[in-house]
């Protein structure tokens, strides 16, 4: 594994550098840039801008899918789905010192991620999600706990339908990070919702062995 520092418990996922410019300065320390269906000429300046923002604010940047650009631009992290793993040059990413996050939805996919020695493993969807149609049923907290036991100390990222109110439950179940897209990016006030996430996940920024789930953390909004 090649994790450069512990993953922050609040894992923001956005689809443009504009979102990074708005939200990272608020205190976000882990963000994924996930841009779909844009030409390389458009992607390259957005990634460079995202890198500059994250360097300025001491935020970890994860690039989704575009592993060739990650190599070209010297990204620290790349996140790949199961389909992307079939074409990505994992050896080149490793040689470049780029950490690898992998999406999983089933035991077979988990086995693939472990065989690749992924630096973190993402499990989803934990709850029903509005982001996109998925062939998998919600995994739930019990599956999250099972995954955490299977991967031992390897960082586990939970994704799918997680809100600021649900994040403490997810983290208490064993996830190192709770990923969020719609609860912030589709909020009436994304900045206020970002602050809500920072507050909800704050107890998990302490050393994990001293963490106690906050009172009332087992209740959804």
108: in domain: yes
Phi, psi of 178 (to 5 degrees): -110, 120
83-137 confidence digits (pLDDT tens) = 999 999 999 999 999 999 999 999 999 999 999 999 999 999 999 876 555 566 8
Q: What gap in Å lies between CA 80 and CA 58, rounded to an integer?
A: 23
The answer to whether the beta carbons of residues 79 and 63 sit under 8 Å apart is yes
1: in domain: no
Give residue 216's pLDDT band: very low, low, confident or very high (50, 70, 90): very low
Q: In the structure encoding, which two tokens stand for residue 42, read together?
A: 């458009």
Q: What gap in Å lies between CA 3 and CA 133, rounded to an integer?
A: 31
Q: What gap in Å lies between CA 12 and CA 24, rounded to an integer?
A: 9
Q: Give the list of residues 6+ apart from residue 58 with CB closer than 8 angstroms, or none.
A: 29
Quote the number of domains for the chain.
1
CATH number, domain containing residue 108:
3.20.20.70
* C-alpha dist (Å) from residue 157 to 3, 4, 182: 13, 16, 16
157-213 confidence digits (pLDDT tens) = 999 999 999 999 999 999 999 999 999 999 999 999 999 999 999 999 865 433 333
Residues spanned by the domain of 155: 10-210
Has 106 been annotated as catalytic?
A: no
| Of 4, 55, 94, 132, catalytic | 132
Has 22 been annotated as catalytic?
A: no
- Predicted structure pTM score: 0.90
98: in domain: yes
Has 199 been annotated as catalytic?
A: no
Mean pLDDT value of segment 40-55: 96
């Amino acid at each position: 594994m090649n994790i450069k520092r512990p993953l922050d418990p609040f894992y923001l996922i956005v689809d443009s550098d504009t979102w990074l410019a708005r939200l990272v300065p608020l205190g976000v320390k882990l963000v994924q840039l996930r841009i779909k269906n844009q030409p390389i000429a458009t992607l390259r300046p957005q990634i460079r801008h995202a890198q500059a923002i994250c360097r300025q604010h001491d935020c970890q940047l994860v690039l989704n899918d575009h592993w060739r650009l990650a190599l070209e631009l010297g990204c620290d992290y790349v996140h790949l789905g199961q389909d992307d793993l079939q074409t990505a040059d994992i050896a080149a990413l490793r040689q470049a010192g780029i950490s690898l996050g992998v999406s999983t939805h089933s035991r077979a996919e988990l086995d693939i991620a472990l065989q690749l020695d992924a630096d973190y493993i993402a499990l989803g969807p934990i709850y029903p999600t509005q982001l996109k149609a998925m062939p998998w049923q919600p995994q739930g907290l019990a599956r999250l706990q099972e995954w955490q036991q299977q991967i031992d100390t390897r960082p586990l990222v939970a994704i799918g339908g997680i809100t600021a109110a649900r994040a403490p439950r997810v983290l208490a179940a064993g996830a190192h990070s709770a990923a969020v897209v719609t609860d912030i990016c589709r909020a009436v006030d994304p900045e206020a919702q970002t602050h809500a996430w920072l507050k909800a996940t704050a107890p998990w920024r302490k050393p994990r062995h001293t963490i106690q789930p906050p009172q009332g953390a087992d209740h959804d909004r």
